[in-house]
Structure 1
Amino acid sequence: MVLLLTVVGIVLFVLGLLFSIAWHELGHLGTAKMFGIKCTEYMVGFGRTLWSFRRGETEYGVKAVPLGGYVRMVGMMPPARRTDDDGGRRLSRWRAMAEDAREASYVELDPEDQDRQFYQRAPWKRLIVMFAGPGMNVILAAILLAVLFMGIGVPQQTTQIGVVNECVVSAEVQDEVDSCEGRPPTPANEAGLRAGDVIVEVDGRATPEWNDANQLIRDSLGPTEFVVERDGERIPLTVDIIENELPARTAEGDFIYETDADGDEVTDSEGFPVYRMETVGFLGIMFATERAPLTFAESAGEMGSMMVGVAEALIALPSKIPGVFGAAFLGEERTADSPVGIVGISRIGGEIMAQGLPIADTASIMIQILAGVNLFLFAFNMLPILPLDGGHMAGALWEWIKRGWAKLTRRPAPAPVDVAMLTPVAYIVVACFLVFSVVLLIADLFNPVRLFG
């Protein structure tokens, strides 16, 4: 059964990734056709074509390597400004690569389509076409997160007791303790609190929210009066609260993490943030949680926080490469915050399904990860380097600025920005991406990131 669930999780994640890629390319295709640009191919994946069909002038299909996708638009590169040989001189290797790319963008240009080329469109139209792909990823992420935050809801702690711990164990060693032998009972256990009790008062003060109860408990010490609701009846209890080392929290109940001299969070050997510890009142319970939907504003705030996190992860990506290489070839430990590829993210999907969690929890984790993938696709594709969408956008934006300046100074309109001259840079970027993808593949196969140990 575990194997079956793992396979189902992997398949679901692969399908989700393929849909995200197809959705991204649909943004390019739709806007390009809207502006009259001829599109000859709409493909999910690269390499050999596995399946395709033609409708009108466009071939739609799936290719063998699911590392992305593309929409082939004719005339992506503007015509050369000078003749190839410039008086018989041999082209430089850089220029030859640029001209090869230029020729490839005109291969499927028919005489009747001379005015349907990408470069001929106004810069603002080209910006829209190239932004539409990453923009579709943001839209998909927003839909997924709306379903998660406003539909399924997020776990929120309540004032109901979920678990009463039997004995006192410091938070720093709780994962290492298997038995309560020789350890004192927790105040909650000793006072007769039960799972299912709802804490309604602590020290004479009402606790309508979890944070109220939690903060009052942490601030208390010694005999403290409690009122709990059990089976519809209010029961007063006196609990002798003791001190214990627990993770520090803010006034809002959020955990506080250790930071270094630069203000960055300190992480352990597995890449998880380290809690700041403090001595506070200890009752010995775990509050129950329930799922509650967020408001639109709260959901938007959560999505904004995720976008910031994705941007930070993208910025930190180069610093993670040595760790991935070490995990792939040197047997080094793979940290929880290590980058993962398609195989790695699919394995994580299988791992989530195999845990046998409640359906809502499983769906929430998978939706959140898939939304994060789409936000990453947006941020990554917005980088202003070819062959990414951001590279083409940078060229169109620069041309727009040049045209605006020429109009302002009453000069002739400048020629289109020749992005073909950056083709060698694009080849270098693609080569680096492929090498990193292979390293990720090896690491994901033989030293994968594991969320559940």
Structure 2
Amino acid sequence: MLVVVGIIIFFLGLLFSIAWHELGHLATAKLFGIKVTQYMVGFGRTIWSRKKGDTEYGVKLIPFGGYIRMIGMFPPKKDEKYGRTASSAPWRAMIEDARQMSAEEITPEDAHRQFYQRSPWKRVIVMLAGPVMNLILAVGIFAAILMGHGINTPTTTVSSVSACVLPATAPNTEQCPADAPPSPAAAADFRPGDRILEFNGKPYASWDELQLAIRRSAGTVPVVVDRGGQQLTLQANLMQTDRPKLNSTSEYEKVGFLGLTPTSQLVKQDVGGVAKTIGGFVSLTAQKVVELPQRVPDLINAIFGGERHQDSPVGIVGASRLGGEVLASDDYGVDARIIMMFNLLAGVNLSLFVFNMLPILPLDGGHVAGAIWESLRRGFAKLVRRPDPGPFDTARLMPLAYAVSLIFIAYSLLVLVADVVNPVKLF
């Protein structure tokens, strides 16, 4: 029951995130006098709608996105007010059909309220407003959690010591195989509760810095620890072994291995700490978005019974299942589970921000890139005293936009199937 409740709650949170995104486009479009005919959450058949003023507000059957419909997204063809030019080229037909569909909504009284007529900076604001709304929501959630609750921060105190060294891909087990070598930490007599003061002659105040030093080391290294108020120097013979790359569960590299797990404690962050942490989240999210094409083989492998990594891409179905898993987990208290769900929701909004900023149509970033290019082109023409080249005709990019859309749909279906047959599991 808790799983179902968690899925429903998280699903509603995702729908709110979509509606919140589109609200940014809607508010700024109306602010600049652009006519918006539709504000919809979802795609496909309309299951509820209501018209207020110029705009129809509604919810559609397929809840995998949303949109607003602005008139005049494409400028008319030069030397022609509106209309379609016959051509044998399929891509030319796509361009003219897109232009004609855009023109069909325009009435004489609304001819001055078209999107393309607005200054490039206004169009940039309208298209950026959606992703920025997702960023605002993500930052608000993360900031509230980081400053009000705190973040689990590893310390330099030892929580547990690995008894032996196992391959990075080996399943977790409390028992060591007979042929497994003891871990360097166990051989050096590290114990839970030891606080590491120095590693290889240098003091370290944070686990992150200490972890990097360990991964970069090899051979015998002196480690000074505080054990019950007494300082001891332990000699650890670090070994090189394959371990997951930092911030990854599917990529490996050969690094120095000691065999310690640190304790952690909740640390509330100040404004500077929040900015640094969220900056790291944005950087990591951007990296994962860029890596999406590389994930296709893993997704296909997962569909046919292979391993589904925790950092594998998920869609709205997979994200909702994660929300259900978090709420139903017995390993954490109610407060911790609620915070984890909000963290997941913030992460989804951060992903929506980064993904929509990609400078390709039909994403928001593609329209932003078109407006910026138009501004640069007009500025250059003015500088060299040439005639104004007019608005940039984004309709010419529609064949590319259709191709990108098909790729996105295919990728989304691949992720959907993987989320159903082999979902990502946090625990």
Pairwise TM-score range, normalised by the shorter structure: 0.7 to 0.9
Picking from 384, 387, 395, the partner of 2:370 is 395
Q: Is the 8 A contact 1:267 1:273 kept in 2?
A: no
How has the CA–CA distance of structure 1 residues 266 and 141 changed in structure 2, closer, same or farther, with 3 Å as cutoff? Answer: closer
Find out whether 1:301 has 2:276 as its counterpart. yes
Shift of 1:161: 8.4
Query: Aligned runs of 1:256-267 on 2, under 5 Å?
Result: 258=243, 265=245
Q: Which amino acid in the other structure matches residue 94 of structure 1? A: W
Query: Aligned runs of 1:212-231 on 2, under 5 Å?
Result: 228=228
Picking from 433, 438, 441, the partner of 2:413 is 438
Query: In structure 1, what is the Cα distance between the partners aligned to 2:74 and 2:197?
Result: 71
Residues paired across the two proteins, number: 402
Query: In structure 1, what is the Cα distance between the partners aligned to 2:21 and 2:404?
Result: 20
Partner of 1:38: 35
Query: Aligned runs of 1:262-281 on 2, under 5 Å?
Result: 265=245, 271=250, 276-279=255-258
The one-character-per-residue Cα deviations of 1:213-251 (angstroms, maximum 9, x if unpaired) are x99xx9878xx99675xxxxxxx7899978687999xxx
Shift of 1:74: 0.6
Q: Is the 8 A contact 2:195 2:225 kept in 1?
A: no
Shift of 1:444: 0.8
Partner of 1:352: 326
Q: Which amino acid in the other structure matches residue 20 of structure 1? A: S
Find out whether 1:96 has 2:93 as its counterpart. yes
Show structure 2 runs of 5+ residues with no match. 177-181, 212-219
Partner of 1:67: 64
How has the CA–CA distance of structure 1 residues 226 and 416 changed in structure 2, closer, same or farther, with 3 Å as cutoff? Answer: closer
Shift of 1:422: 1.6
Q: Is the 8 A contact 1:171 1:246 kept in 2?
A: no
Q: Which amino acid in the other structure matches residue 6 of structure 1? A: V
Identity %: 45
Q: Is the 8 A contact 1:171 1:245 kept in 2?
A: no
Query: In structure 2, what is the Cα distance between the partners aligned to 1:79 and 1:336?
Result: 48
Query: In structure 2, what is the Cα distance between the partners aligned to 1:267 and 1:133?
Result: 28
Query: In structure 1, what is the Cα distance between the partners aligned to 2:125 and 2:175?
Result: 59
The one-character-per-residue Cα deviations of 1:418-439 (angstroms, maximum 9, x if unpaired) are 1112212211111111111111
Partner of 1:116: 113
Shift of 1:399: 1.0
Query: Aligned runs of 1:19-58 on 2, under 5 Å?
Result: 19-58=16-55
Q: Is the 8 A contact 2:222 2:233 kept in 1?
A: no
Q: Is the 8 A contact 2:194 2:225 kept in 1?
A: no
Partner of 2:215: none
Q: Is the 8 A contact 2:221 2:236 kept in 1?
A: no
Q: Is the 8 A contact 1:13 1:349 kept in 2?
A: yes
Shift of 1:110: 2.6
Query: In structure 1, what is the Cα distance between the partners aligned to 2:97 and 2:197?
Result: 77
How has the CA–CA distance of structure 1 residues 277 and 8 changed in structure 2, closer, same or farther, with 3 Å as cutoff? Answer: farther
Picking from 309, 313, 336, the partner of 1:339 is 313
The one-character-per-residue Cα deviations of 1:384-428 (angstroms, maximum 9, x if unpaired) are 221111111121111111111122122221121111122122111
The one-character-per-residue Cα deviations of 1:283-317 (angstroms, maximum 9, x if unpaired) are xx976543221111111111111111111111111
Query: In structure 1, what is the Cα distance between the partners aligned to 2:35 and 2:269?
Result: 44
Shift of 1:343: 0.9
Query: In structure 1, what is the Cα distance between the partners aligned to 2:76 and 2:48?
Result: 33
Query: In structure 2, what is the Cα distance between the partners aligned to 1:20 and 1:376?
Result: 11
Partner of 2:140: 143
TM-score normalised according to structure 2 size: 0.80
Query: In structure 1, what is the Cα distance between the partners aligned to 2:195 and 2:60?
Result: 58
Which is greater in Rg? 1
How has the CA–CA distance of structure 1 residues 151 and 77 changed in structure 2, closer, same or farther, with 3 Å as cutoff? Answer: same
Q: Which amino acid in the other structure matches residue 271 of structure 1? A: S
Q: Which amino acid in the other structure matches residue 105 of structure 1? A: S
TM-score normalised according to structure 1 size: 0.76
Query: In structure 2, what is the Cα distance between the partners aligned to 1:266 and 1:139?
Result: 27
Q: Which amino acid in the other structure matches residue 376 of structure 1? A: S
Q: Which amino acid in the other structure matches residue 402 of structure 1? A: R
Q: Is the 8 A contact 1:334 1:447 kept in 2?
A: yes
Query: In structure 1, what is the Cα distance between the partners aligned to 2:146 and 2:388?
Result: 49
1:385 alignment partner, SS class: coil
Partner of 1:368: 343
Query: In structure 2, what is the Cα distance between the partners aligned to 1:302 and 1:32?
Result: 32
Shift of 1:49: 1.0
1:11 alignment partner, SS class: helix
Q: Which amino acid in the other structure matches residue 169 of structure 1? A: A
Shift of 1:103: 2.1
Query: In structure 1, what is the Cα distance between the partners aligned to 2:78 and 2:310?
Result: 51
Picking from 5, 10, 15, the partner of 1:13 is 10
Q: Is the 8 A contact 2:71 2:102 kept in 1?
A: yes
Q: Is the 8 A contact 2:157 2:196 kept in 1?
A: no
Query: In structure 2, what is the Cα distance between the partners aligned to 1:298 and 1:314?
Result: 24
Q: Is the 8 A contact 2:34 2:71 kept in 1?
A: yes
Q: Which amino acid in the other structure matches residue 347 of structure 1? A: R
Partner of 1:170: 164
Q: Which amino acid in the other structure matches residue 319 of structure 2? A: I
Picking from 419, 422, 425, the partner of 1:447 is 422
Find out whether 1:127 has 2:124 as its counterpart. yes
Q: Is the 8 A contact 1:134 1:377 kept in 2?
A: yes
Query: In structure 2, what is the Cα distance between the partners aligned to 1:208 and 1:422?
Result: 54
Query: In structure 2, what is the Cα distance between the partners aligned to 1:366 and 1:125?
Result: 36
The one-character-per-residue Cα deviations of 1:136-170 (angstroms, maximum 9, x if unpaired) are 1111111111012111111135688878x8xx723
1:383 alignment partner, SS class: coil
How has the CA–CA distance of structure 1 residues 267 and 366 changed in structure 2, closer, same or farther, with 3 Å as cutoff? Answer: closer
Query: In structure 2, what is the Cα distance between the partners aligned to 1:77 and 1:34?
Result: 20
How has the CA–CA distance of structure 1 residues 115 and 304 changed in structure 2, closer, same or farther, with 3 Å as cutoff? Answer: same
Shift of 1:97: 1.6
Partner of 2:214: none
The one-character-per-residue Cα deviations of 1:81-138 (angstroms, maximum 9, x if unpaired) are 255576xx64532222222212222333232111111011011111111111111111
Query: In structure 2, what is the Cα distance between the partners aligned to 1:320 and 1:18?
Result: 25
The one-character-per-residue Cα deviations of 1:3-51 (angstroms, maximum 9, x if unpaired) are x221122122212211111111111111100000001111111111122
1:70 alignment partner, SS class: strand
